[in-house]
Amino acid sequence: MRKRLDSNFKNMVLVACAIALFSALSVASISTLTAGKINEVRLQNQLSAIRDVLPPFDNNPMEESDTLLTTGGEMLVLFPASREGERVGTAVKTFSNNGYSGQIWLIVGFTPDGAIHNYTVLEHKETPGLGSKMNVWFASGSKGDVTGKIPGSKGLRVSKDGGEIDAITAATVSSRAFLDAINRANRALDGNADATSGATGIGEDATSGASGVEEDATSGASGVGEDATSGATGVEEDATTGASGVEDTTGVNPSSSGKQ
């Protein structure tokens, strides 16, 4: 008959260590077996996103990619695409730190003349039903359509900041962040990942560096979307109901504003 282990502290520690070792080896084995597949899926998804934002190509843009490091330590990745040896465009993995709820990541495709061919939103934490609409709001045929636009040296801006792009209704902060990512991608095409030190595009005065967040130039008071006649703060306010339109257009951190 097999002898039972004595039920003492030493034996319990040995058994616990044996179980922990077995568990660790099992997890490591499973991780090794699945890591290759996970990486393959990730690469396929990335290639699919690149195909979505560029004209047809026959090279492998990921094998010819180039990486730029921003002043903040983030990486922008450029994926050059060609067909029969001729460049048809470049996809840029880009970001903005100015989303209403944090960072957003996009892949933007540019044609050789610098025009936006298409885009895909990779990651964001914006408000569902508001900022999350960037997935479709700026697409071809939509109200805020950016396709075919050439950001150029000035970049794209929402109409509230004197630009020509319609912001997402009640989500101006998210819209500005989206265009910030687009403009950063455009600068990356020129080899400059963070020109103007990563300006947010929130109406910033390039000469003074002062934040022109809808500022009233005559009074110096912060306009923050302010109604010039009533003096009420227009935090994306619904003009018909007077209700707060949820997403603050000032770029104020949601943790401090309490409005979303």
- pLDDT tens, residue order, the chain (260 aa): 455 555 666 777 777 888 888 777 777 767 666 766 777 777 788 889 999 999 999 999 999 999 988 887 888 999 999 999 999 999 999 999 999 999 999 999 999 999 999 999 999 999 999 999 999 999 999 999 999 999 998 999 999 999 999 999 999 999 999 999 999 999 998 877 664 333 333 333 333 333 333 333 333 333 333 333 333 333 333 333 333 444 444 443 434 343 34
Q: pTM of whole model > 0.75?
A: no
Q: What is the Cα–Cα distance from 232 to 219, expressed in whole angstroms?
A: 15
Whether 24 is covered by a domain: the verdict is no
Helix (H) or strand (E) holding 99: strand 86-99
How many domains, the chain? 1
Whether 157 is covered by a domain: the verdict is yes
Whether 29 is covered by a domain: the verdict is no
**Residue 171 is part of which domain span?**
68-217
Contact partners, residue 245, CB within 8 Å, separation at least 6: 169, 170, 235, 236, 237, 238
Helix (H) or strand (E) holding 184: helix 172-189
Q: Among all chains, which residue has been given the structure tokens 């195909």?
A: 51
Whether 192 is covered by a domain: the verdict is yes
Return contacts of 143-149, CB within 8 angstroms, 24+ apart. 144/168, 144/175, 146/116, 146/119, 146/179, 146/182, 147/115, 147/116, 147/117, 147/118, 148/115, 148/116, 149/115, 149/116
Whether 185 is covered by a domain: the verdict is yes
34: nearest Cα among 23, 26, 44, 24? 26
Q: Strands 66-69 and 116-123: what pairing?
A: unpaired
Contact 172, 221 (CB under 8 A): no
Whether 104 is covered by a domain: the verdict is yes
77: nearest Cα among 155, 152, 189, 182? 189
Return contacts of 191-194, CB within 8 angstroms, 24+ apart. 191/68, 193/68, 193/69, 193/70, 193/71, 193/76, 194/70, 194/71, 194/72
**C-alpha angle 136-138-143 in degrees, rounded to nearest 5:** 95
Residue 6: the pLDDT is 58
Q: Counting Cβ atoms within 10 Å, is residue 83 exposed (0-12), middle (13-18) or buried (19+)?
A: middle
Amino acid identity, residue 32?
T
Q: How many residues does the chain have?
A: 260
183: nearest Cα among 120, 103, 95? 95
Whether 259 is covered by a domain: the verdict is no
Whether 130 is covered by a domain: the verdict is yes
